Amino acid sequence: MTSVVDHRRDLASALVAAGTVRSPWLRRAFEDTPRERFVPRFYRSVSGHEALVDGTDPQQHQEWLRGVYTDEALTVQLTPAPDLAYGAGAPTSSSSMPTVMAGMLEALDLQPGHRVLEIGTGTGYNAALLCHRVGAHNVVSVELDPALADAARQALADVGLFPAVHAGDGTAGLATAAPFDRIIATAATDHIPPAWISQLTPGGIIIVDLRGSLAGSLLRLTALDPDIVEGTFQDLPGAFMPMRTRVDSPHRDGESWDQVFDQRNPQRTTTPVDPGLIADNPSLRFMAQLHLAGRRLRGFLRPLSGTELSGRSTDGSWFTARLHPDNDGLFPVAQGGPRRLWDTIESCYALWQRLGEPNAAQFGVTAYDDTALQHVWFDNPDSQYQWPLPL
Ligand SMILES: C[S@@+](CC[C@H](N)C(=O)[O-])C[C@H]1O[C@@H](n2cnc3c(N)ncnc32)[C@H](O)[C@@H]1O
């Protein structure tokens, strides 16, 4: 039977072999930090249902331990969401995928003694990795959910680490502990919270998953001036759960999906653009959300059935596009509501092709500590192609 120490070593070696872990300190941090102490149980999706895998259950112990040392995100909390089609609830906390954590920690360029702010303590495991490099007294972690913050504080204490874990909304940073040399957000945001910019030291770095409703991407920002950060998206997919404002809701800003869509009298057209091509292309999904900034989308760009792609926006707009062409080789589209969502997607597709089908790593962000002055750009900060935040 593989021992816990072997599991840990295997995970660290796999991350090194994959090139995700490059720094010796990070390898040691993965080898030394007992993920199993931070994830005593997790949910696994089995045939569309979430099943609990509990390390204290002797029957499940081995499955649990294997899961803990697999390179996967582990959901540790579900929150009921009556307006979503989730059975037990939507995931609202997890221990992130080790590959993603490693990529972020490498991109953070942590040096001993740096003051670090983490947003989204979750299980506390990533905070423990941070402590390994900079010392627990230099780590401040903020978690929205007080129960999660308590559990993480306890798990950290159990392994002898005492960083400052605060319960609260991480968009405010933590002014009383600022300034920070590094800020790492392990929950996704649709803009750069101004407090993070003003709490960053000159030359400081922020790593965050910036995402709208369609695709996240990890962004690395550097402080250029006290009130401005700038940087590019990394070649690392972001798959973080969105930052929330309410502990009892999985939605990112208390949004609800209860509204009724008026599907009478839709506008019916055809399109030469194959909706199936758009559905599964991460680069295109990334760019589409720039075009759809500010709108909350659901079921978008992902086939809900075998025959149609459909999308709904919280402003009541909707579309469906058939995945099979008609006899003329065109794809039938129906859309309605205040905005023509499909038309926006189609014009985004045309621009994406004109720009050479870029992926997220060819885009960047300039953000002032005023949300009205934050935007995404293509290729360079002075580009003619710019999109406003929030997404
Ligand atoms: C992917 S988990 C974080 C993983 C964590 N770093 C770890 O190592 O386990 C995201 C966490 O962000 C928290 N969160 C969501 N919105 C937040 C907010 N506004 N402020 C602080 N934390 C938030 C969630 O409750 C959740 O625990």
Q: How many C-alpha atoms does 98 have within 13 Å on its Cβ side?
A: 27
**Closest protein CA for atom 1 of ligand 1:** 94
Give residue 378's identity as a one-letter amino acid code.
Answer: F
Residue at token pair 């040691």: 28
Choose which residue among 72, 189, 244 to substitute to test ligand 1 binding: the one with the highest number of ligand atoms within 8 A of its C-beta: 244
CA dihedral 75→78→82→87, nearest 10 degrees, is 60
- Predicted confidence (pLDDT) at residue 337 exceeds the cutoff of 60: yes
- Rounded to the nearest whole angstrom, what is the distance from the C-alpha of residue 186 to the centroid of ligand 1? 6
pLDDT of residue 292: 82
Annotated catalytic residues are 96
pLDDT in tens, 67-82: 999 999 999 999 887 6
| Ligand 1 atom nearest to CA at 39 | 9
Smallest CA-to-CA distance from 274 within 309, 305, 312 is with 309
pLDDT of residue 84: 64
pTM across the whole model? 0.94
Element holding 118 (H helix, E strand): strand 116-119
- Predicted confidence (pLDDT) at residue 311 exceeds the cutoff of 70: yes
- Predicted confidence (pLDDT) at residue 87 exceeds the cutoff of 70: no
Q: Which residue has the higher pLDDT, 135 or 256?
A: 135
- Rounded to the nearest whole angstrom, what is the distance from the C-alpha of residue 252 to the centroid of ligand 1? 12
Enumerate residues lining ligand 1, CB below 6 A. Answer: 92-96, 119-123, 125-126, 142-145, 148, 169-171, 186-187, 240-241, 243-244
Q: Are 50 and 75 in contact (CB under 8 A)?
A: yes
- Rounded to the nearest whole angstrom, what is the distance from the C-alpha of residue 213 to the centroid of ligand 1? 18
Q: Are 94 and 241 in contact (CB under 8 A)?
A: yes
Residue at token pair 């469906």: 320
Give the whole-angstrom CA distance, residue 11 versus residue 4.
11
| Ligand 1 atom nearest to CA at 73 | 1
Q: Which pLDDT band holds residue 307 (cuts at 50, 70, 90)?
A: confident
Assigned token pair, 198: 């003003």
Domain architecture of the chain: domains with CATH: 4-238 (3.40.50.150), 267-354 (3.30.160)
SS3 141: strand
pLDDT in tens, 158-207: 999 999 999 999 999 999 999 999 999 999 999 999 999 999 999 999 99
Q: Which residue spans within 214-360 are E strands per DSSP? A: 216-225, 228-238, 267-271, 297-303, 308-313, 318-322, 331-336
**Closest protein CA for atom 5 of ligand 1:** 122
pLDDT of residue 255: 65
Q: Which of 49-58, 144-153, 232-241 has the highest mean pLDDT?
A: 144-153
Which phi and psi angles does 85 have, rounded to 5°?
A: -85, 40
| Ligand 1 atom nearest to CA at 123 | 9
- Rounded to the nearest whole angstrom, what is the distance from the C-alpha of residue 68 to the centroid of ligand 1? 18
Smallest CA-to-CA distance from 42 within 74, 72, 88 is with 74
